Amino acid sequence: MSVLRHPSALRLAGIAALLALASSCGGGGGGGGGGGGVQPPALAITTANLGGGTVGVAYNQTVVATGGTGARSFSVSAGALPAGLTLTAATGTISGTPLGPAGTANFTIRVTDSGAPQQSATQPLSIAINAVAMSRNDTIATATTLGNGSFNASISPSGHPNTVFIPDQDYYRITTTALSTVTVDIDAQINGSPLDPVIEIVNASGVRLNTCVAPAFNSPCVHDDEVLGVERDSFLQVRLNAGVTAFIRVLDWRGDGRPDQLYTIHISGLL
């Protein structure tokens, strides 16, 4: 014998069935989402630049990383740090005392985390090492050794009264290991310094070389103004064979005993 149900009872039964189905689907979906878990943030090195150092002066900079899971480990994956500096794997701190020569070291830092799966990230960086601070280099015998890079310097007064004409000068030593086309660029006026620099490239006896000026490289190695009467900074290119030591002479002909005059010397192409 069949049983007749009131229409309202049928509607209630249908709603109950739909709610049960929705609850079942929602519970399943929630279980699936929970199984996926929360992904850790991507590991990345946020340090984009490192400060420069000076030969013989203690150095300390830290490479900063974010993201990943657990402990991090830092290493140099390409290139090399400047001589005298080391990288602490656990903290990313680069420290030590630069040994020289002055120049710019290019390298890549790699960081890895301890998650599963493990993440890693890399960042190319460089450190410019400047020459020894607080020393005169106004003779070939006291010349400062430089490599490729940009270095802030100043020409010190000659010490003579302004009635005695002796040019103030700095000497820099460069040494090649292969045939090199070396570019020497002096920026003073462009940086607001009153220095009017002149560049010479000489040998150990102070004799001017004759292997400058592209493309022939058979001209005397001396230069005054980049643009005569307009730009008084100096620029020079020299061709040097392998195993050659040459000296860059930067001078200011006024020699008037005034305070130090600042400039930046840029060297590139040295092999």
How do residues 43-56 score in pLDDT, each as one tens digit?
Answer: 999 998 887 788 87
Which is higher by pLDDT, 6 or 221?
221
Tell me the DSSP string of 118-132.
--EEEEEEEEEEEPP
Contact present, 137 and 172 (Cβ < 8 Å): yes
Residue 117: asked if its preceding bond is cis (omega within 30°), the reply is yes
Q: With a cut of 90, say whether residue 68 has pLDDT above it.
A: yes
Provide the pLDDT for residue 2: 41
Q: Which of the residue ranges 75-89, 150-164, 180-194, 231-245 has the most confident prediction, judged by mean pLDDT?
A: 75-89
Contact present, 55 and 98 (Cβ < 8 Å): yes
Tell me the DSSP string of 30-62.
HHHHHHH-PPPPPPEE-------EETTS-EEEE
Which is higher by pLDDT, 224 or 74?
74
Cα–Cα distance measured from residue 148 to residue 35, given in angstroms and rounded to the nearest whole number: 55
Q: Which domains does the chain have, with CATH numbers?
A: 44-130 (2.60.40.10), 144-268 (2.60.120.380)
Which H helix or E strand runs over 23?
helix 7-36
What does the pLDDT average to over 241-255? 86
Q: With a cut of 70, say whether residue 1 has pLDDT above it.
A: no
What does the pLDDT average to over 210-222? 93
* Residue showing tokens 């607080």: 134
Report CA 45 to chain centroid distance, whole Å.
15
Cα–Cα distance measured from residue 104 to residue 100, given in angstroms and rounded to the nearest whole number: 10
Q: How confident is the model at residue 103 (pLDDT cuts 50, 70, 90)?
A: confident
Residues 6+ apart with CB under 8 A from 206: 140, 247
Provide the pLDDT for residue 259: 63
Structure tokens belonging to residue 224? 């005054």
Q: How confident is the model at residue 92 (pLDDT cuts 50, 70, 90)?
A: very high
- In degrees, rounded to 5, the angle at the alpha carbon of residue 50 between the alpha carbons of residues 74 and 197 is 150
What average pLDDT is seen over the chain? 80
Provide the pLDDT for residue 271: 86
Cα–Cα distance measured from residue 9 to residue 15, given in angstroms and rounded to the nearest whole number: 10
Going by C-alpha positions, the residue among 131, 107, 155 that lies closest to residue 57 is 131
Q: How confident is the model at residue 15 (pLDDT cuts 50, 70, 90)?
A: low
Residues β-bridged to residue 259: none
Provide the pLDDT for residue 110: 98
What is the distance in angstroms between the CA of the first residue and the CA of the last residue of the chain? 105
Q: With a cut of 50, say whether residue 156 has pLDDT above it.
A: yes
At position 34, the amino acid (one-letter code) is G
Burial 163-197 (b: 16+ CB within 10 A, else e): eeeeebbbbbbbbbeeebbbbbbbbbbeeebebbb
Q: Decide: pTM greater than 0.85.
A: no
